[in-house]
Amino acid sequence: MSLEIRIGGRQHRVDLRREGDRYSGRVGERSVEAEVLDRGPSSLLVRLGDKTFDVTFDLDGTRLLLDLGSRQVAVEILDPLRPSADGMGEEEGTGRREVRAAMPGKVVTVKVKVGEGVVRGQGLMILEAMKMENEVPSPRSGRVVALGVSPGQTVETGALLAAVE
């Protein structure tokens, strides 16, 4: 999995590989190895080296709010398909725009049908990845011309989710 995040105004690239409950890779320039155990809704036990963190989390739009017990951290997940907060996102343009999976996951819900009109930023579906449900937004206003998935389907990175014209 690869993604860009922002913590405290600083942007970082995250590249992680998952094997069961273990993750390894890089966060920015730092190598990391962690064990992540699911402890129920919105609660994880995270082991980083000799340190253990009991983490609760809440997803607020594009921000992941982490409570580490001794401190709280807001992590903004930077999505290249979502318009930026300053309104300077890419122009809608014309023609077909494909929406592809940014990471492996499972389709929880498909909110639209082929032929349905949508507006830019409208949720097309919910994709569960890394134990979080993520709404997949429409990249432009238009009409849904293709759906490449159905509820319950598992997808790999790059899989076609939908297309909007």
pLDDT per residue as tens digits for the range 119-144: 988 889 998 887 788 888 888 889 99
Residue-range domains of the chain with CATH: 2-78 (3.30.700.30), 97-164 (2.40.50.100)
User: In this predicted structure, what is the pLDDT of residue 81?
Assistant: 52
pLDDT per residue as tens digits for the range 12-34: 888 889 898 899 999 888 899 99
User: In this predicted structure, what is the pLDDT of residue 151?
Assistant: 96
% of the chain residues with pLDDT over 90:
30
**Distance of alpha carbon 93 from the chain centroid:** 24
CB burial readout 112-144, b (16+ within 10 A) else e: beeeeebebebebbbbebeeeebbbbbbbebeb
Query: Is the full-model pTM beyond 0.75?
Result: no
pLDDT per residue as tens digits for the range 42-65: 888 989 889 898 888 887 666 788
